[in-house]
Amino acid sequence: MEIYSPAGPLPSIPDNLTVPQFIFDFKHPSRPIRGDIPWLIEDETGRSIGEHELRRRTNGLAVALRSNFEIGEDDVVLIFSRNHIDYPVAIWAVHRLGGIISGANPDFSSDELLYQLKATNASVLIVHPEALETALVAARDVGIPPKRIITFDVAPVTKVSNNYRTVEALINEGLSRFEPSFVGRVLKPGEARTKLAFFNFSSGTTGKPKAVAIPHYSLIANIIQVAAHNKVNEDYCDRKDQRYRLGDIAIGVLPLYHIYGLVVNLHFSLFCAMSVVVVPRYSFVEMLNSIVRHRISHLLLVPPQVILLCKHPAVKKYELHRYIRFLMCGAAPLSFELNRQLFELFPDAHVGQSYGMTETCTVTNMWPIARKRGTPGSGGQLIPGTVARVMKTDGSLAGYDEAGELMIKTPSVALGYADNVEATRETFVDGWVRTGDEVKIDKNGEIWILDRLKEIMKVRGFQVAPAELEGCILEHGDVSSVCVVGVPDDYSGEVPMAFVVLTFEAARRVNQDPSTAERIKGSIVKHVADNKVTYKHLVGGVEFIDMIPVSPSGKLLRRILRDEAKEMRKSKAKL
């Protein structure tokens, strides 16, 4: 059985536009006329930036990138930075030249950044000064010279960053050379479907992170899909109850290197004639202050932030319900209890969950526009243009309320994984995307996430590949073999836990002195912490076992250990 969106037909989607052409110039029936409403607001200073300035800065940077670095067709620029007011400008400038953007987590270690640089073959880095030293190490190892590293402008300027060209300086240089005839890359009809715009990283259902090849059309399609689902620019009810209104203000705390922040928090919000408050570094209490200071109406969050909204004592000091009209949570399911608390906290707001993947260029499901409240525990209904199947283990299609793997077909689907034919073939099947999530769909079209069939963990909304951590742990001198699983966690959704088989020598030391076991476990945890970004740390701990269970073909039977880990956590909770 195939399930179609109950939200109505999908409007037309242009297939000859780049992302900046769509954002700056395209008029669509779903798009409100913005007028003089600011596009971006700098959180700390309150400085607002409108269309004219953003357009100028984008064109100026594009000219400078072309003249100084010869950025052109399919050249990759990697942005290694937390959110910055010029982050969107950098994206659109590269797109103007026909280039591709890849965003990386600024908290990555040099090895993690090196992996992404190699996978994308990036030729230029745009870096936040705080991450410059890490970037220099990775750039040196991959052969990118320092002269091809640019920094965002952040005060105060450090001695190290003072030696590098800044985005601001390049914008000013480009504007001095700018010719009014500059129009940027122009696409032929249909070309947006294949012309690459982004390499965003995902681990799919298995393995190490892979570069998801996202064309311009995918981002544009998803914006129009979500706008149609939410009846943006339609008078479908009283203005006070509409989800998106001209001049609403969204907080931009989600990182722009993550697909949720990139597509929904930034581009979709701008399409809806909203202002986006750009927050460089997330702090929960500071976020509360920002809500009041900027009178923020729309929150786009992930479960850890929702948990703090419901439980942090500082929340009682703020009358948040006076400002918040909309709260969407994505990246991982919320419990029934958290949903209930959110409804109580924001009694008049639209509150619900959405579901999506990097491989689908974000949203595929959202709670229906007919209700302010999403059904607690549900991932919502399919958005326009999206079709779903639920595949049972025997290969047959499930009916209503039958469990199986969710498969999605959507206009916003990515092209596949760059330079990885095998992984692409496993996940992208005849126009369908295998999500790796076990679900059921009820007769109301609500999709319920039951379990994760895929190996990949979701920690605070970020994907973590067990294979990546296993490779790191195997470098430890006391480890013979290892299996990493995700275990449930109220705050993070899941956290990594490692089952380790010790080497003969390490096991002998433990037998002679049992206290050695805790020292080795601590050493393994520290080894991962020293080499991986924070959300990949072994928060779930380390457990020693005699043998890792494997299938006859040698594949790790990860689910067996995941179930064992859950039971261990339950037992500890009872103590």
CB-side neighbour CA atoms (13 Å) of 241: 10
CA distance 464 to 331: 13
Stated length of the chain: 575
Averaged pLDDT, groups of 10, the chain, 575 residues long:
91 97 95 95 96 96 95 97 97 98 95 96 97 96 96 77 88 88 88 98 79 98 98 93 94 94 97 97 94 97 85 91 94 75 92 94 95 89 97 92 95 96 94 92 91 78 83 89 87 90 92 93 95 93 89 66 82 62
Q: Where in the chain is the domain with CATH 3.30.300.30?
A: 457-574
Q: Please state whether 214 falls in left (phi above 0), alpha (psi between -120 and 50) or beta.
A: beta
pLDDT of residue 84: 97
Q: What amino acid occupies position 137?
A: V
Domain 2-15+195-452, what fold?
A: Rossmann fold (3.40.50)
Q: What angle do CA 199, 56, 50 make, to 5 degrees?
A: 90
Count of Cβ atoms closer than 10 Å to residue 511 Cβ: 11
Token digits for 79? 């942005």
Q: Please state whether 430 falls in left (phi above 0), alpha (psi between -120 and 50) or beta.
A: left
Q: What is the dihedral of CA 569, 462, 339, 342, to 10 degrees?
A: 120
Measuring CA to CA, which residue among 215, 285, 252, 212 is closest to residue 82? 252
Token digits for 524? 């393994």
CA distance 427 to 414: 11
pLDDT of residue 553: 47
CA distance 335 to 378: 10
Angle at which helix 516-531 crosses helix 466-473, to 10 degrees, equals: 120
CB-side neighbour CA atoms (13 Å) of 526: 6
For residue 42, list its beta bridge partners.
278
CA distance 301 to 485: 25
CA distance 39 to 556: 49
What HEC string does 402-416 produce? CCEEEEEECCCCCCE
CA distance 479 to 460: 28
CATH among 1.10.760.10, 3.40.50.2300, 3.40.50.980, 3.40.50.300 for 50-186: 3.40.50.980
pLDDT of residue 345: 93
Q: Which residues of 84-95 are buried (b: 16+ CB within 10 A; e: fewer)?
A: bbbbbbbbbbbb
CA distance 141 to 114: 7
Q: Are 444 and 254 in contact (CB under 8 A)?
A: no
CA distance 2 to 4: 7
Distances (CA, A) of 92 to 89, 105, 261, 268, 508: 5, 19, 16, 15, 59
Token digits for 425? 């073939």
Burial of 318: CB neighbours in 10 Å, binned 0-12, 13-18, 19+: middle
Q: Where in the chain is the domain with CATH 3.40.50.980?
A: 50-186
> In CATH terms, is domain 457-574 a member of 3.30.300.30?
yes
- Residue 196, phi then psi, degrees to nearest 5: -75, 140
Q: Where in the chain is the domain with CATH 3.40.50.12780?
A: 2-15+195-452
Token digits for 348? 């008049």
Q: Are 454 and 205 in contact (CB under 8 A)?
A: yes
Q: Are 205 and 436 in contact (CB under 8 A)?
A: yes
Give the DSSP letter of residue 25: H
Count of Cβ atoms closer than 10 Å to residue 345 Cβ: 17
Count of Cβ atoms closer than 10 Å to residue 218 Cβ: 29
CA distance 192 to 217: 5
